[in-house]
A and B are shown apart, each in its own frame.
Chain A
Amino acid sequence: MTATLEVRDLRTHFFTRAGIVKAVDGVSFTVERGKVLGLVGESGSGKSVTGFSIIGLVDPPGRVTGGQILFKGRDLASASEEEMRRLRGNRIAMIFQDPMMTLNPVLRVDTQMIETVQAHQKVDRETARQRARDTLGMVGIPSPDERLKSYPHQFSGGMRQRVAIAIALLHKPDLIIADEPTTALDVTIQGQILAEVQKLAAQTGTSLIWITHDLSVVAGLADDVAVMYAGRVVEDGPVSQVLDAPLHPYTVGLIGSVPSRNKRGEKLRQIPGMTPSLLSLPPGCAFQSRCARADAACRQDPDLFALREGQRARCFHPHLEAIPA
């Protein structure tokens, strides 16, 4: 059976005045039907751009310059705008980071939901409204009939994100790209929404790409994880393996900076330094300026080496030894 999504060597570059920003530069991953892929990395590593490339909404001056985006076998990188429109919100949905900004402030929630139903199906308003109401109920919004008539500003941030999730679920898509959907929310609501989405995705057989900079979120949610750094995947594999026995020094650093994984009293170990400018990446491994293991070999470009069963890392000196507990 073909995977829901197979991204092969995706390249998305921004042609700015200052030069070419290679925001996504040769990213590959696969999402099987009903599975959850965690896409992890620091801010600026190219996660969102990867998501927007998949649904064909990269803002100018950016564009997909290479690679394939195989959605159920069909390459979206070469699809027409109309074909993409028919897929968006229908077979592939996206949830954005900031729920305060994703709903149109001057349109009622029912308008914003009904238009989504009618963009893809010839149904009358009333049928569309009922579908909207049922979906709102499904994502845990109380008295959905009344809430449909509300405007976005009458909802809390968490409730707005539930509305956005409901909109994403309207057509029971094959794939949902969730771009840090809980980052802007407080912790208890994060947990609720996480559990809710996981449940709904499992019920409908929807595949998920869950973008986050927080590895602890991925732990309980994803099947597989891909770690991104400077526009590339630097490590991928099954979530338990990557989290328990990370290979790439960057992944090790990320895990060290997750509060819940640290013992009490122990200092959080931030990765030193900052993401390098994508405009002027030095030759070789993009992580070398921040890496404790860097040596002369790292001035070459490392490949994504398959180092363990199903687990790969883009590094010449991976953490193959067991990490002390």
Chain B
Amino acid sequence: MTVYLLRRILQSFMVLVAMSIIVFVGVYAVGDPVEILISPDADQLERERAIRALGLDLPLWEQYLVFVQRALQGDLGRSFVFNEPALQIILQRMPATLELAFGSMFLSILIGLPLGLYAGLKPDSVASKTIMAGSILGFSLPTFWVGLMLIMVFAVQLGWLPSTGRGETATLFGLQWSFLTANGLAHILMPAFNLALFKISLVIRLTRAGVRETMLMDYVKFARAKGLSQNRVIFVHVFKNILIPVVTVVGLELGSTIAFSVVTESVFAWPGMGKLIIDSINVLDRPVIVAYLMIIVLMFIVINLVVDILYSVLDPRVRLEAKA
């Protein structure tokens, strides 16, 4: 396991290096921030001084080395716009996005797993067919449209839920969280559900397929032949087997959920990283864009690693291969 872990961490590190180069070059190619940042009235001397101060006069590879050198010290550059460390700006917004993403993941499991289980166990019932039809909607309706509909119905017409912002927050580990207050929870419910819609459908389909496949296995029949109760057969023998693909996929989805919460954050004016990155791209705030992308890359890497480890905890066969 240790060797396996070390190897995985080394791999991850190399991915990180490769991605940092791609991100850096990519963002460099997108446009020149000088035009946006420095007022057109500035004379040549002022321009050059500003360019030098931002480090934009160096060749690309030197800029990259400077970036890496600073990054290793935890400095991902200063935002051109806010004149604050980019990392700090992003980290300030991170709790909002994280709790939105985790909230939606929680909802997708809470809703998707039981529905998928039911649809898998009683595939021919009317309820199951309704569930499956619903899951197609979840896949195909555009997120922003569903978000707007949710606001229309639950905020505007029924007035049950607030439509924008994070609501009241409480402090935990020195950060602000909405899910700790009732008001905050009311605020997070709709955006989290909106973001979860796709994943709920995914979990339903995965669970249903897994249940149907597993129910046919000899070991399930053998479990029943042992005289186990139906509950034990389903919730231990079947469930433990379908948990593997579900955990893997939902876990891997976490990264893209965070990365693509942009739409939901915009619709619900949720002050997270997604909204920040949109704003930053508009003004070509290069350090913030680079820092954001690096954080996302890092997050994907960490999530993959954690999912792999979880996977090996759930599936003993993987554990053994890793040992060998």
A residues at B contact (CB < 8 Å): 55, 57, 59, 85-90, 93-94, 96, 98, 101-108, 112, 115-116, 119-120, 151, 153-154, 164, 167
Contacts and interface: CB of A to CB of B under 8 A. Distances in A.
Interface stretch (B30-38, B136-144, B311-319): B311-319
B315 A101 contact: no
Contacts of A86: 227
Closest 4 CB pairs of A and B: A89-B227, A89-B226, A101-B218, A88-B227
Given A89-B226, A103-B222, A119-B227, 11 more contacts: A88-B226, A88-B227, A89-B225, A89-B227, A96-B221, A101-B217, A105-B241, A106-B240, A119-B229, A119-B232, A151-B316
A296 B229 CA distance: 53
B227 A105 contact: no
Contacts of B237: 104, 107
A149 B227 CA distance: 22
B22 interface: no
Contacts of A151: 316-317, 320
B228 A102 contact: no
Nearest to A113: B226
Contacts of B226: 88-89, 93, 115-116, 119, 167
Given A98-B218, A104-B237, A106-B241, A88 B225 contact: yes
Interface in B206-244: 217-229, 232, 236-237, 240-241, 244
Given A106-B240, A106-B244, A151-B316, A96 B222 contact: yes
A102 B244 contact: no
A55 B244 contact: no
24 contacts: A57-B221, A57-B225, A59-B221, A86-B227, A87-B227, A89-B225, A89-B226, A90-B227, A96-B221, A96-B225, A98-B218, A104-B219, A104-B220, A104-B240, A106-B240, A106-B244, A107-B236, A112-B223, A115-B226, A115-B236, A116-B226, A151-B317, A151-B320, A153-B316
Nearest to B227: A89
A103 B225 CA distance: 12
Contacts of A167: 226
Main secondary structure of the interface of B (DSSP, over half): helix
B222 A153 contact: no
A224 to B, nearest CB: 24
A263 B61 CA distance: 84
Given A119-B227, A154-B320, A102 B314 contact: no
A102 B316 contact: no
B234 to A, nearest CB: 13
Contacts of B314: 106
Contacts of B224: 57, 88
A119 B219 contact: no
Interface in B304-324: 314-317, 320
A94 B218 CA distance: 12
A88 B316 CA distance: 28
Contacts of B244: 106
Contacts of A96: 218, 221-222, 225
Contact of A119 (B220, B228, B240, B317): B228
Nearest to A154: B320
B37 to A, nearest CB: 57
A106 B225 contact: no
B219 A101 contact: yes
Contacts of B316: 105-106, 108, 151, 153
B236 to A, nearest CB: 7
B279 to A, nearest CB: 47
Given A107-B240, A153-B316, A115 B225 contact: no
B220 to A, nearest CB: 8
A153 B317 contact: yes
